[in-house]
């Protein structure tokens, strides 16, 4: 089973991406102008972990300011990774 990345690994990846941005002449930590997702929350089964409250808080702020950059794009098969995760969760893989 794969282990969760550590904070240090996440930060190292963030710095690497920032360096890639800077090399291309972009702001190092420019942020995301748009976030798209393929599976709405209604398609996501109970994965045994709570929905990150921070995500809900961020989206509420964006909506209040009229700048919600999050959009759902229907995508065939988007529910398959969740079904596979749930099926494998009981197997210890």
Q: Rounded distance, CA 65 to CA 46, Å?
A: 31
Residues in Cβ contact with 70 at an 8 Å cutoff, skipping those fewer than 6 apart: 35, 36, 37, 59, 62
Of residues 84, 86, 78, the one with CA closest to residue 36 = 78
pLDDT at 68: 80
Query: 71 with 36: CB under 8 angstroms?
Result: yes
Ordered alpha helix ranges (H), 4-73: 7-23, 53-65
| Mean pLDDT, all residues of the chain | 84
Report, as an integer, the average pLDDT of 3-25: 88
Q: What's the pTM value of the predicted model, to 2 decimals?
A: 0.54
Give per-residue pLDDT as tens, 26-71: 878 777 778 889 988 888 888 888 878 887 888 888 888 888 888 8
Which residue ranges make up each domain of the chain? 1-31, 32-93
pLDDT at 91: 60
Percentage of the chain surpassing pLDDT 70? 95
Query: 2 with 88: CB under 8 angstroms?
Result: no
The H or E element containing residue 72 is strand 70-72
């Amino acid at each position: 089973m794969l282990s969760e990345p550590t904070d240090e690994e996440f930060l190292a990846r963030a710095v690497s991406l920032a360096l890639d941005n800077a090399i291309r002449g972009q702001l190092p930590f420019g942020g995301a102008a748009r976030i798209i997702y393929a599976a709405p929350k209604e398609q996501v089964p109970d994965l045994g972990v709570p929905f990150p409250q921070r995500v809900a808080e961020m989206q509420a702020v964006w909506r209040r300011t009229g700048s919600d950059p999050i959009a759902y794009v229907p995508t065939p098969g988007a529910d398959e990774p969740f079904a596979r995760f749930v099926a494998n969760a009981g197997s210890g893989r």
